Amino acid sequence: FHTDVALSDNVESWLTDVVNEMKRTLKEDLVKCNGIADGPELTDFCSQVLCLDEQVRFTKDCEESIANGTMKALGEKCRKVLKSYTSQDYSKQKLLMLKVMSLLIDLMHMIDV
């Protein structure tokens, strides 16, 4: 969370505050993540934000590739990203490895589409 949520005796109210702050934080992080031209550092954002950002970028790239008739180049770009993710050893960084695994699953689906 970017802002602390005050603990209170009213559990329903507190949980509502937690949910609202979680939504606000995820929204802010997605906007920040998507604003990075070269793509985000995997360590800077949670997996949910990274995966959603990648979906947004892929959708934008698809729209541009369809309009320009460059779908083959988009496929090559996706395979290049796949190679970069799979050529690194994340075994000593468990959280980063989980993030990459999530991104890889989405990326394999994107390549298949």
* Segment 66-89, tens digit of pLDDT: 999 999 999 999 999 999 999 999
Distance (Å, whole) CA 14 – CA 8: 6
Please report which helix (H) or strand (E) contains residue 10, including its range: none
- What does the pLDDT average to over 52-67? 96
Confidence (pLDDT) at 45: 97
Q: What would the pLDDT profile of 29-57 be if each residue is shown by its tens digit?
A: 999 999 999 989 999 999 999 999 999 99
Q: Which two tokens stand for residue 51?
A: 């995966």
What pTM does this model have? 0.86
- Percent pLDDT > 90 in the chain is 88
Residue 1 has pLDDT above 80, yes or no: no
Confidence band (pLDDT; 50, 70, 90) for 28? very high
Distance (Å, whole) CA 46 – CA 43: 8
In three-state secondary structure terms, 29 is: helix
Distance (Å, whole) CA 103 – CA 55: 10
Helix H segments across 2-93?
11-34, 47-68, 71-86
Q: Which two tokens stand for residue 65?
A: 């590739």
- Percent pLDDT > 70 in the chain is 100
- As a whole number, the mean pLDDT across the chain is 94
Could you identify the residue written with the tokens 């989980």?
A: 98
